[in-house]
Amino acid sequence: MKEKEKAAVPVLSVGADVKQPLKKTTNKIITDSLKQRNLQATNNHDLKVISMTELYDTAYPPKLPIIDGLLYNGTYLFVGSPKIGKSFFMAQLGYHVSMGLPLWGYQVRQGTVLYLALEDDYARIQSRLSKMFDVESSDNLYFATKSKTLNTGLEQQLNSFVAEHKDINLIIIDTLQRIKEIGGEKFSYANDYEIVTKLKAFSDNHNICLLLVHHTRKMDSNDSFDMISGTNGLLGAADGAFVLQKEKRTDNKAKLEISGRDQQDLKMSLTFNRKKCVWELKNVETEVWKEPDDPLLEAIANIVKNQEAEWKGTASELVKILDLDIQPNVLTRKLNINAVRLYDRYKIRYENSRGHSGRTIKFTIIKDN
């Protein structure tokens, strides 16, 4: 494998085949650069490929959550009918992320937030925020009421902002319709897919979350996600979607359904607090499935905690400490494919790198904001 790279991987548990030797091993380990998440090994042809062996010998970084269990780096749709309270929701979300404040008990990763409120003006934004937060403010929450479209320079504008704010992790675009390419086809699957694909490429390149506010269509459906206005190309290209619905426009109660590639499907009951103008969680209607504990990962977590939040050494040293009847390269593979699980369950970052003295494994506990 000629290039070094690192990205999110599926979770595999420790199996009963740990004593079996591997027929093929590689010393190529991808670096921990999140920007190389989707890069692949290259052969002598134009097609970029990677073997199953190389996949297992690669330590991919976890996809970082903006809000644990709810929102991750990537491109998401936030959909609801007009005047349902989407803008209040976006302002609430942006404020919590910019301040690092938990939302409904879910932990939030703090970072700079850019909110493109393209259907508002600054006076309306000021009025809305003051109703929600009085005079409490955030230096890390920025607003713009005008921007270019996708084919007239929006990406360059966003690139400039990101370059000036290295800690940015969330950009809200309200609404998607305002930044669509001028002259693009309407009601075309290919066009809808291409629009979100371009935005997803931007979010993936910068390892941030792009949240695209959009409207539902008028026709009802048994599947809430079929209510997204436009074609299935929007949802097909996105990493996930949030659908906010009320039975009646005058209700202060709503259902929020969430579906995505990096989180479990959820259905929540929300209540809009008219006095504070914020959305409050009433209950989560869907039961969240949790993976059973893994003895290997539990043992590693205990070792890291006993080492004052960090452990560094070789796979052979770790095998000896854990007293395992397992080959070091097999252990390394199991750690590679459980990097996401280590982060999600134990908040431990796993790194595997090669230096002059050989390969080194490093575990680090991630501290809360």
CB 262 within 8 A of CB 249: no
Segment 160-214, tens digit of pLDDT? 999 999 999 999 999 999 998 766 556 688 888 899 999 999 999 999 999 999 9
> Which two three-digit tokens encode residue 331?
């252990």
Is the pLDDT reported for residue 1 higher than 70?
Answer: no
Instruction: Give the pLDDT score at 221.
Output: 63
CB 150 within 8 A of CB 198: yes
User: How far apart, in Å, are the Cα atoms of 280 and each of 144, 155, 256, 269, 273?
Assistant: 26, 34, 11, 9, 7
CB 342 within 8 A of CB 34: no
CB 26 within 8 A of CB 53: yes
CA distance 52 to 325: 24
Residue 85 per-residue DSSP state = S
Examine domains 34-63+292-365 and 65-261 and report if their fold is the same. Answer: no
Instruction: Give the pLDDT score at 182.
Output: 65
Is the pLDDT reported for residue 36 higher than 60?
Answer: no
Assigned fold of 65-261: Rossmann fold (3.40.50)
CB 54 within 8 A of CB 28: yes
CA distance 277 to 126: 13
CA dihedral angle for residue 88, residue 202, residue 169, residue 335, rounded to 10 degrees: 130
Instruction: Give the pLDDT score at 247.
Output: 80
Residues in the chain, overall count: 369
pTM of structure: 0.79
Name the band, by pLDDT with cuts 50, 70 and 90, for residue 147.
very high
Q: Name the more confident of 25 and 329.
A: 329
| Signed CA dihedral, 19, 23, 26, 30: sign only | negative
CA distance 98 to 91: 10
Ordered by start, the domain boundaries in the chain are: 34-63+292-365, 65-261
Three-state DSSP state, 117: strand
Using a 10 angstrom Cβ sphere, with 0-12 exposed, 13-18 middle and 19 or more buried, the burial of residue 305 is: middle
Q: What is the mean pLDDT of residues 4-26?
A: 40
In this predicted structure, which of 93-102, 134-143, 284-293, 297-306 has the lowest mean pLDDT? 284-293
Name the band, by pLDDT with cuts 50, 70 and 90, for residue 142.
very high
Domain 34-63+292-365 has CATH 1.10.10: yes
Instruction: Quote the percentage of the chain above a pLDDT of 90.
Output: 59
Name the band, by pLDDT with cuts 50, 70 and 90, for residue 218.
low
